[in-house]
A and B are shown apart, each in its own frame.
Chain A
Amino acid sequence: DAKTTQPNSMESNEEEPVHLPCNHSTISGTDYIHWYRQLPSQGPEYVIHGLTSNVNNRMASLAIAEDRKSSTLILHRATLRDAAVYYCILKRTSYDKVIFGPGTSLSVIP
């Protein structure tokens, strides 16, 4: 199964950039890298995804290493609303293999 490794927790100051790392050394060529976040007492929310190239959207940027064995989610200016658990997952076509690990709990300090 394709697994990811993330730090358990991270802290950031408000209005500063945040870099959330994810290791996925067993990634296969067809695995997409997806990021979701979960605010307290809510369902997970899609953030961004990519295959090989770096991706940007209104919420965040995704930087993917050249060998694809790691990736970094970048929040350009952290706000208090960004305090959440961030999940990095690998997705392939056989959906019974989707694995959500414990994720990274991000705290934002005012």
Chain B
Amino acid sequence: NAGVTQTPKFQVLKTGQSMTLQCAQDMNHEYMSWYRQDPGMGLRLIHYSVGAGITDQGEVPNGYNVSRSTTEDFPLRLLSAAPSQTSVYFCASSYSGLAAYEQYFGPGTRLTVT
């Protein structure tokens, strides 16, 4: 199993550009989520999904869109990039949305917005 994969690893955007961060998992997990991590800080939840076709907002959803058309994929879209969105983005998946299950994280995408 590849686990959770993310592409690209690095990306530089200009202010106002849009892009999609890709996330895929091959573990047939129902629950997937996106976090951002700013320097010296913990992770903050952006959006999450408890199954195909179902998404919801996390702690910091503004400026980001998600969709979940398949169990495997959970892309994160930046609509109009801003310098405040410079961060490292992590995708995670879990067998279930229940609290007893652990999450598996991808390697991250390092995004810089100039």
Contact = CB atoms under 8 A, between A and B. Distances in A.
Nearest to A90: B99
Interface residues of A, number: 24
A68 interface: no
B75 interface: no
Contacts of A100: 35, 42-44
A38 to B, nearest CB: 8
Given A43-B90, A44-B90, A96-B59, A49 B106 contact: no
B33 interface: yes
27 contacts: A30-B99, A32-B100, A34-B102, A36-B103, A36-B105, A43-B92, A43-B106, A44-B103, A46-B102, A46-B103, A51-B100, A87-B42, A91-B99, A93-B98, A93-B99, A95-B31, A95-B33, A95-B50, A96-B57, A98-B58, A99-B42, A99-B59, A100-B43, A100-B44, A102-B40, A102-B42, A103-B42
